[in-house]
Amino acid sequence: MATPNFLTGTLEMIVLQLLRAEPTNGYDLTLRIQAISNDVLNVNAGSLYPALYRLEQRGLLAAKWSASENGRRTKVYSLTAAGRKQLADQRASWEQFSGALAAILSVGPASGDAR
Amino acid sequence: MTRARLWLRSVLLGRRLEREMQAEMAGHIERSTDRLMARGLSPEAARREALLEFGNVGYLQEEGRIARGVVWLDRLQADLRFALRHFIRNPLSTLTIVAVLAIGIAINVVLFTIVYSFTDRPPSGVEASDDLVRIRGSQLGLGGRAERAFTMEEVEAYAGLEDHFSAVAAWTSQPVTAEGPDAEEITVTATFVTGDYFEVLGAQPVLGSGLQRDADQVAVLSHATWSRSFAEDPGVLGRTIVVNDVPITIVGVAPPLFRGAYWEARDDMQLWVPMADRSGVLAPFDEEAEIYRVVARLRPGITREAAGAAVNVVADRILTELDRARAQDGSQLGRDPSAEVVPLLADNLQPDFETNARLVKLVFGVLGLLTLLVTCANVSALQTGLALARRREIVIRMSLGAQRARIIRQLVTENLLLATLAGGAAVGVTLAIIRVLLAIVGSLSFELVFDGTSLFFTFGVALTAGLLFGLSPALHATRVAIAGALKDSASSVAGGRAGLQRGLVVAQIALTQPLAVCVAALVLFGVFEYRENRPTPNAEQIVRLRLASPGARDISITGGAAAAAEREGLELERLATAIREIPGIAGAVYQPNRASVSRTAFRVAGAAGPEREAEPFYVTGQAVMPGYLEIVDRPILLGRDLERADTAAYRAGAIPAIVGDDMARSLWGDGNPIGRRIESAADGEAAMMLEVVGVHEEAIDASGDSRDNFSVFLPADPRPTGRSPNGYLLIRTSTSAEAAMPAIRTVVHDEVPRAAITELLTLAALEDEQRFVLRGGIGLILAGGLVVLLLSALGLYAVVAFAVGQRTGEIAVRMAIGARARQIVRHFASDGFRLGIVGILIGLPLSVVGLRALLPLQPTAPPLVLPAVTSIVAIGVLMVAGLATWIPARRAARVDPAVTLRRD
């Protein structure tokens, strides 16, 4: 599928990648995204949830309720086999895309073109 | 696969997932708050900051629902809640619509139930299965193909087709007298069956083990026999009943609805006995008799067509052999016998079943469709009115931002809900109608079933109707410019809005007319039938006597050999002779139940009389024995009575016939009719040539009107044909029949001691009964038609009344500037009248199509009757339309301009 919404696609990839590293709940996932992206991805913390539900509905994530360390019940998300495959696919196409983009951007201005 | 499972989960666990989502988001915000408080913020500030950080909770939850793909479910719920609130606020219009719809749907479902039960269901108490088939024999008889039962030799040949059939069973039935539990005499239908019978039909006894292979002198009772003669005694197993001096042990009781592979015992008093017992119970019988009927189960993977082809091959061979063998002993096989494989249905023993089924489907289908369309147009018109009344509500919602699609969906949901409610009500109405129907006609040859298929059909019809009647008003009501409609008070006229409503009124009239024409035609056909069914003269002096198993010999089903037929005649004539000796008896004759010629088009053959050159007329033929005419008081005026030898003509040549003097006069004027011939207009199999050998006095003259419909008498073939094996005696008394009956009983008991009298009634009583059933049928059709007409009139009235109500403002203005009440009434009435005329003109072609479809039911209907019916109905519909407009128009004219205008 094409990525009409660049950010949505990116957010999904980030979620999948982070959950592959370690299954976790929505709150901790938000903190982790914020920490890693250094506030580059400046979105509301809550935007993560619709993304999680979409991925869950598509069978890419599985969720389970469990008690966290301070006794709160939280919903812990983990990657399914389909999710792992989706992540690999997305990474491959992303790398292809960013490689192409980098190649285009590295082309300098043609000599004599300066006006 | 996974997706579907997840989707299903989100639909089914919607509430739980919703709760979980809310808990998850609340948990997130709590933890953010904790984190911010740990940084030193006050609880209030921390919570505010956490919420800000999270974003718009309501929006995100909606996004979450969209992600789960269940938004439509929430919206549906909201729409349904909204619809219910609307219904509760408008109980009267809701009830009206549901009632109108329910009646329309119920009429459809009743028609469907009859068609479905008749054309598509196995015999009562037998489970539907594609593997179950009948092997049906037929031969050419009077007026077309008739059923022909098989000889045992043929049955065995078909049973030998083991590659095609996993089991083949045969049966033959005969009424017998039996000695019941208290030594009283009971008459039951004994059905002798081969070993596989119950297995093929898949019927398990409710009590006992049933007929075991190789068992003899055992019987399975029908449920009715068990409950009537044994008071449902559970200890009935092992008891014996005596049939013709043979003690038979009861080994089972059949399920309540089970009547076997074909309904033969009118009173359901039946017992199933192994074929081996037949020769014991009914002493010597003709081994070659054509008395066996066959059901079979196809092997898995074998189609009916393949089995049919195999049966054809066997039939060709064996029928040729049989014909040769019969030719040697001087008897003969029927004309062009054959065999085919058909699905096992309740009533398809006769080869004309398929034609009848097609006709029933066509007629009922047309009636049902028209009823449904009228109902929909009716409700649609009502709905348009109501939707217009709700226009302000709709406009306000739209101006507040509701999308048009959203409101249309809301209105359609409302209509589908109405339709579903109506469907539920229709089920109740249908069951009630079926009950009344059964009470009127008694038992049917098939079981009226209301099952899952019927339910599916009911709600299919209901929802189709819901969409049909709901969509156009919904589309229409929302097609309004907000600014215009808000400005517009509810009482001014907008062209487009009235347009749809007027269109629906026209549609309704256009549909009502053909429906009314069809109903009127059916009622008229019934009345014709009633008139044709003229009473026999002196019917109260003629007695019909039927016997069950008279004596040691199975008289009525002996067959095949000429000698046996002769014996049969002698046996009955012996009884007839004895009865003739009784004082007060004028005559007695044996009359076998024989196929008759149903109404068929004929023309004069060869050199015709002057008046009736090639003009066809209709003939109904009744096959009778010599002497019959004298008994029914139709003395021979000219020529001779029928003779036994006359039946030979069925194989070749013109069939001798006795015609009435009215027919002779009509066809040949004053010329001598004897030796003249008439031929059937049909070609091929049904073609038939009749030669007049006698003229009888038609006692009831058709009072001068030139009838095109005659009845003739043909020689009855005493050979059994498989159709209704029992004959009867017709006895004529010289004085009162009632007085002679005891003497007749005594003679029967003396002459044939073991026979039971199953019927001893005057023809007058029998004909009364027939007429009663016919009257009931006519009444039922008439009642149905009137209900539809009433529905239509009500719809029309409601629409016009509503339109008038909407235009009171306009009327008030008109009256204020000087219009008279009469002008107002004329304006509205002529408007309604115009709509009526347009509707009738549009409906006319439909009426013609409907009549064309119905015509085969009564080919003899005088040609002028149908145009006359159409015109009368058109005038009637126009009058109803006029009345439905006039009443509200008059009310409108009573508008007080001052009051109305002040209100605005």
- In tens, the pLDDT along B196-228 reads 899 899 888 888 888 887 788 899 999 999 988
At residue B524, does pLDDT exceed 90?
no
What pLDDT is recorded for position B1? 65
What pLDDT is recorded for position B252? 92
A60 or B753, which is more confident?
A: A60
* Nearest-by-CA chain B residue for A61: B6
Give the gap in angstroms from C-alpha A35 to the nearest C-alpha of chain B.
15
Tell whether B28 is within 8 A of chain A (Cβ).
yes
What value does the mean pLDDT take over residues A33-37?
77
**Contacts of residue B69, Cβ cutoff 8 Å, sequence gap at least 6:** A57, B7, B10
Among B755, B592, B706, CA closest to B176: B755
Choose the mutation target among B9, B57, B60 for the interface with A, i.e. most A CBs under 10 Å: B60
Looking at the partner chain, which of B32, B54, B69 has a beta carbon nearest the beta carbon of A57?
Answer: B69
Give the gap in angstroms from C-alpha A49 to the nearest C-alpha of chain B.
7
CA distance B582 to B734: 11
Cβ <8 Å between B6 and A56: yes
Tell whether A6 is within 8 A of chain B (Cβ).
no
What pLDDT is recorded for position B706? 47
CA distance B746 to B290: 33
Tell whether A82 is within 8 A of chain B (Cβ).
yes
Start-to-end CA span in chain B (Å): 62
Tell whether A58 is within 8 A of chain B (Cβ).
yes
* Nearest-by-CA chain B residue for A62: B6
At residue A45 the predicted structure's pLDDT band, cuts being 50, 70 and 90, is confident
Give the gap in angstroms from C-alpha A52 to the nearest C-alpha of chain B.
9
- The single residue listed with the structure tokens 């085969």 is B856
- Which residues in chain A are closer than 8 Å to B64, comparing Cβ atoms? 49-50, 53
Tell whether B25 is within 8 A of chain A (Cβ).
yes
Angle at CA B707, nearest 5°, toward B701 and B708?
140
Tell whether B23 is within 8 A of chain A (Cβ).
yes
B613 or B440, which is more confident?
A: B440
- The single residue listed with the structure tokens 């008759």 is B596
What pLDDT is recorded for position B672? 87
At residue B175, does pLDDT exceed 80?
no
Give the gap in angstroms from C-alpha A45 to the nearest C-alpha of chain B.
5
- The single residue listed with the structure tokens 């006039």 is B886
> For B620, phi and psi rounded to 5 degrees?
-115, 125
**Contacts of residue B391, Cβ cutoff 8 Å, sequence gap at least 6:** B477, B480, B485, B490
Cβ <8 Å between B60 and A65: no
Tell whether A32 is within 8 A of chain B (Cβ).
no
Tell whether A54 is within 8 A of chain B (Cβ).
yes
Which of helix, strand or coil describes residue B70? coil
**Contacts of residue B58, Cβ cutoff 8 Å, sequence gap at least 6:** none
What value does the mean pLDDT take over residues B513-519?
83
What pLDDT is recorded for position B157? 92
What pLDDT is recorded for position B699? 60
What value does the mean pLDDT take over residues B802-807?
70
- Which residues in chain A are closer than 8 Å to B55, comparing Cβ atoms? 44-47
Cβ <8 Å between A72 and B31: yes
ipTM for the complex shown: 0.82
CA distance A77 to B345: 59
B799 or B192, which is more confident?
A: B192
Give the gap in angstroms from C-alpha A40 to the nearest C-alpha of chain B.
15
What pLDDT is recorded for position B860? 65
Question: Are β-strands B709-715 and B617-624 bridged in parallel, bridged antiparallel, or unpaired?
Answer: parallel
A46 or B1, which is more confident?
A: A46
Among B421, B433, B465, B430, CA closest to B451: B430
Q: Which of B242-251, B425-434, B461-470, B889-898 is least confident?
A: B889-898
Among B362, B409, B729, B692, CA closest to B582: B729
* Nearest-by-CA chain B residue for A82: B2
Tell whether A45 is within 8 A of chain B (Cβ).
yes
Chains A–B, number of C-beta pairs less than 8 Å apart: 68
At residue B568 the predicted structure's pLDDT band, cuts being 50, 70 and 90, is low
Cβ <8 Å between B28 and A59: no
What pLDDT is recorded for position B550? 39
Cβ <8 Å between A30 and B21: no
Question: Average pLDDT of chain B?
Answer: 79
The pTM of the full predicted model, rounded to 2 decimals, is 0.70
At residue B169, does pLDDT exceed 90?
yes
Q: Which two tokens stand for residue B641?
A: 């009575």
What value does the mean pLDDT take over residues B24-47?
89
* Nearest-by-CA chain B residue for A31: B32
- The single residue listed with the structure tokens 């490689």 is A99
CA distance B849 to B475: 32
What value does the mean pLDDT take over residues B637-655?
80
As beta bridge partners, residue B214 has: none
- Which residues in chain B are closer than 8 Å to A59, comparing Cβ atoms? 2-3, 6
Give the gap in angstroms from C-alpha A56 to the nearest C-alpha of chain B.
8
Residues B786/B371, Cβ–Cβ less than 8 Å: no
* Nearest-by-CA chain B residue for A42: B53
- Which residues in chain B are closer than 8 Å to A11, comparing Cβ atoms? none
Exposure string over B742-780, b if 16+ CB within 10 A, otherwise e: ebbeebbeebbebbbbbebbbbbebbeeeeeeeeebbeb
At residue B304 the predicted structure's pLDDT band, cuts being 50, 70 and 90, is very high
Query: What is the DSSP-derived secondary structure letter of residue B759?
Result: E
- Which residues in chain A are closer than 8 Å to B57, comparing Cβ atoms? 46
CA distance B153 to B586: 44
What value does the mean pLDDT take over residues B441-452?
78
Tell whether A97 is within 8 A of chain B (Cβ).
no
- Which residues in chain B are closer than 8 Å to A30, comparing Cβ atoms? 28
**In percent, how much of chain A has pLDDT > 90?**
3
How many other CB atoms are found less than 10 A from the CB of residue B716?
25
- Which residues in chain A are closer than 8 Å to B67, comparing Cβ atoms? 50-51, 53-54, 57
At residue B715 the predicted structure's pLDDT band, cuts being 50, 70 and 90, is confident
SS (H, E, C) chain A: CCCCCHHHHHHHHHHHHHHHHCCEEHHHHHHHHHHHHCCCCCCCHHHHHHHHHHHHHCCCEEEEEEECCCCCEEEEEEECHHHHHHHHHHHHHHHHHHHHHHHHHCCCCCCCCCC
Looking at the partner chain, which of A49, A56, A82 has a beta carbon nearest the beta carbon of B60?
Answer: A49
What pLDDT is recorded for position A114? 42
Tell whether B39 is within 8 A of chain A (Cβ).
no
Helix (H) or strand (E) holding B431: helix B404-441
Tell whether B22 is within 8 A of chain A (Cβ).
no
Looking at the partner chain, which of A26, A53, A75 has a beta carbon nearest the beta carbon of B67?
Answer: A53
Looking at the partner chain, which of B10, B28, B69 has a beta carbon nearest the beta carbon of A26?
Answer: B28
Cβ <8 Å between B60 and A82: no
- Which residues in chain B are closer than 8 Å to A65, comparing Cβ atoms? 20
What value does the mean pLDDT take over residues B784-792?
77
What value does the mean pLDDT take over residues B799-816?
74
Cβ <8 Å between B68 and A57: yes
Cβ <8 Å between B55 and A46: yes
What value does the mean pLDDT take over residues B256-265?
86
How many other CB atoms are found less than 10 A from the CB of residue B510?
23
What value does the mean pLDDT take over residues B122-142?
87
How many other CB atoms are found less than 10 A from the CB of residue B272?
27
At residue B305 the predicted structure's pLDDT band, cuts being 50, 70 and 90, is very high
- Identity at B562, one-letter amino acid code: A
Give the gap in angstroms from C-alpha A74 to the nearest C-alpha of chain B.
7
CA distance B9 to B68: 10
CA distance B428 to B424: 7
SS (H, E, C) B122-135: CCCCCCCCCCEEEE
Give the gap in angstroms from C-alpha A59 to the nearest C-alpha of chain B.
7
At residue B322, does pLDDT exceed 80?
yes
At residue B102, does pLDDT exceed 50?
yes
At residue B901, does pLDDT exceed 70?
no
What pLDDT is recorded for position B18? 84
CA distance B173 to B115: 28
Give the gap in angstroms from C-alpha A94 to the nearest C-alpha of chain B.
24
CA distance B50 to B52: 5
At residue A40, does pLDDT exceed 70?
no
Cβ <8 Å between A45 and B31: no
SS (H, E, C) B504-543: HHHHHHHHHHHHHHHHHHHHHHHHHHHHHCCCCCCHHHEE
Most confident among B429-433, B464-468, B515-519 (mean pLDDT): B429-433
**Residue pLDDT, tens place only, B816-874:** 888 888 887 887 777 777 888 888 888 888 888 878 777 777 666 666 777 788 888 88
* Nearest-by-CA chain B residue for A47: B60
Tell whether B54 is within 8 A of chain A (Cβ).
yes
Give the gap in angstroms from C-alpha A81 to the nearest C-alpha of chain B.
12
Choose the mutation target among A54, A57, A76, A80 for the interface with B, i.e. most B CBs under 10 Å: A57
Tell whether B10 is within 8 A of chain A (Cβ).
yes
At residue B411, does pLDDT exceed 90?
no
What pLDDT is recorded for position B757? 72
Cβ <8 Å between A46 and B23: no
